Amino acid sequence: MAKPEFHIFICGQHRPEGHPRGSCGAKGADALYDAFAQVIIQNNLTTKVALTRTGCIGPCQAGANVLVYPGSQMYSWVEPEDAQPLIKHVLEGQIFADKLTPAELW
């Protein structure tokens, strides 16, 4: 496997329904992961972008959450339709401001 230039972590934490913190799993994390995987494959980015499903990465109330390196940028309330523009911004070295996690949450 080639060393990727970017690493995208998608919170896939699942907690029981009614858990006080909630979870990204309950907020569509599985569909979000699939959407990112499809964008990466369709754009032939498999050697440039690594995609990893993780456990909890922070602001559960703002899920589904995505963390991007390098740059340590967290994105929240991310939906499957955000995968394409978010990856485009990452590749261009830009912040995807529409979904950037507010500083008070992370």
Domains in the chain, ordered, with CATH?
6-99 (3.40.30.10)
Instruction: List the 49-54 sheet strands across, edge first.
Output: 49-54, 6-11, 66-69, 73-75
pTM of structure:
0.93
Cα–Cα dist 13/33, whole Å: 12
Q: Which residue has the tokens 């390196």?
A: 69
Q: Write down the mean pLDDT value for the chain.
A: 94
b/e per residue 2-35 (b: at least 16 CB within 10 A) = eeeebebbbbbbeeeeeeeebbbbbbbbeebbeb
Q: Is residue 60's pLDDT more than 90?
A: no
pLDDT band, very low/low/confident/very high, at 45 (cuts 50, 70, 90): very high
Q: Is residue 17's pLDDT more than 80?
A: yes
Q: What is the pLDDT of residue 20?
A: 86
